[in-house]
Amino acid sequence: MNILYLNGSPRKQASATKKLADAFVEGMLKTVPESIIDEITLYEKAIAPCRGCFGCWHATPGTCVIRDDMDSLLPLFRRAHVVVWSMPLYYFGMPSTMKAFLDRLMPNNSPLFEKRKGGVRHPQRYDAAAQRHVLVSTCGFQESERNFEAIALQFDLLCDDRVSKILCPAGGAFATDHLGSAARKRLEEVQNVGADYTVSGTIARDTERALSIPVYDPDRYMAVVNRLAAIAETPAPDWMGARPSPQAHAVLAAFVARYREDPEPERALTIEFAFSDERSQAALLCETSSCTIEPAPDERAAARIEADVALWKRIVSGDTSISDALLNGTLKVWGDFDAVLRLEDLFVGIEV
């Protein structure tokens, strides 16, 4: 099987959408390991916009008059049995370079008109009846409705019933090197779908709908994102914290006692804990199998969490969660919130 895997994100290898597309392709390889994969990062290619000159129809039929990287990409597209289109949602559509690539597929079409499936189309110059397509996309908003409809319809019109879709809202859940448990579970689901796809050649509509369910509660996700955006606009306090009091130290010790082995041992995590009522702070250094209390400030820290001692005690006891405290304004986070999300994986009984 020839698979053309198109990464259409301006973030290239750092794309959140690419994590989902990678999982899908890995699933395909589980059942068809001998497949040939051509993975193309479009934002590393020179792809000029289509001029609309129709030269590929009349002057040089089947060949674009523009000389750039599409010369090598068009043959890959034509030979592909499956094309995986991976892209984030930009203004309810696709990023500009992906759109330029799509427009430059025009040499594949004939200038003739034909009526097909209730509409008028240009027939393919090359036999593409068996070619299948998979659209993988994420968006920043927390719900699928009123977000993916335009791009989904575009691929329905382009590919008829030969396209399947993996459309995931709350894409920020995948935009980190340290995924939370919910995001990791979704990647496992997508990988299983990829394995099934090589057998069935499609993704069932019920499965597509299941994959479009956000990995976090939509209302809670929106509230947390908005709260973090508001905090980010205010500077963190510049006070140098004293050593934590015995009560504050007991909170840190409770975290240490609940530490479990890091599921991602290749990356240590350091988070600063600030106790606002006593203006003290310390850092927790989480390594492969140990968690230690270190002085703060710590230049290795990925994030800083600030609350008073009483609130920290309630979080440790399970009376509230970090996200609840964040939403009601009694806790603040600066830095990488994705690092905070990892606390739920690293500490038994701590809810984020």
List per-block mean pLDDT (blocks of 10 residues) for the chain, which spans 352 residues: 96 94 97 94 97 94 96 96 97 96 96 87 90 96 93 94 95 79 91 96 96 87 80 78 90 92 72 92 90 90 91 91 85 82 80 74
What's domain 2-216's superfamily in CATH?
Flavodoxin domain (3.40.50.360)
Contact 305, 322 (CB under 8 A): yes
For 89, phi and psi rounded to 5 degrees?
-85, 125
Longest dimension (CA), the chain: 82
Helices (DSSP H) in the chain: which residue ranges? Answer: 16-31, 70-79, 96-103, 149-159, 181-200, 205-211, 218-232, 246-257, 309-317, 322-327, 337-341, 343-346
Please tell me the distance from the alpha carbon of residue 171 to that of residue 140, in angstroms, as a whole number. Answer: 5
Contact 85, 134 (CB under 8 A): yes
Classify burial at 94, counting beta carbons within 10 Å of its beta carbon; exposed 0-12, middle 13-18, buried 19 or more: buried
Q: How far is CA 227 from CA 231, 328, 331, in A?
A: 6, 9, 10
Say what the pLDDT of residue 227 is: 80
For domain 221-346, give the fold. Answer: Nonspecific Lipid-transfer Protein; Chain A (3.30.1050)
Tell which phi-psi region holds residue 179, choosing left (phi > 0), alpha (psi between -120 and 50) or beta.
beta
Crossing angle, helix 16-31 and helix 181-200, to 10 degrees?
A: 40
Say what the pLDDT of residue 334 is: 87
**Which pair of structure tokens corresponds to residue 129?**
């009846």
The DSSP code for 235 is: P
Residues of the chain with CATH 3.30.1050.10: 221-346
Say what the pLDDT of residue 322 is: 86
Residues of the chain with CATH 3.40.50.360: 2-216
Look up tokens 């989904």; give the residue: 152
Say what the pLDDT of residue 55 is: 95
Respond yes or no on whether the N-terminal peptide bond of residue 297 is cis (omega within 30° of 0).
yes
Contact 273, 341 (CB under 8 A): no
Classify burial at 237, counting beta carbons within 10 Å of its beta carbon; exposed 0-12, middle 13-18, buried 19 or more: middle
Q: How far is CA 261 from CA 11, 271, 350, in A?
A: 31, 16, 15
Adjacent-strand bridge partners of 280: 242, 275
Q: Is the sign of the CA dihedral 145, 149, 155, 160 positive or negative?
A: positive
Please tell me the distance from the alpha carbon of residue 269 to that of residue 27, in angstroms, as a whole number. Answer: 30
Please tell me the distance from the alpha carbon of residue 272 to that of residue 241, in angstroms, as a whole number. Answer: 11
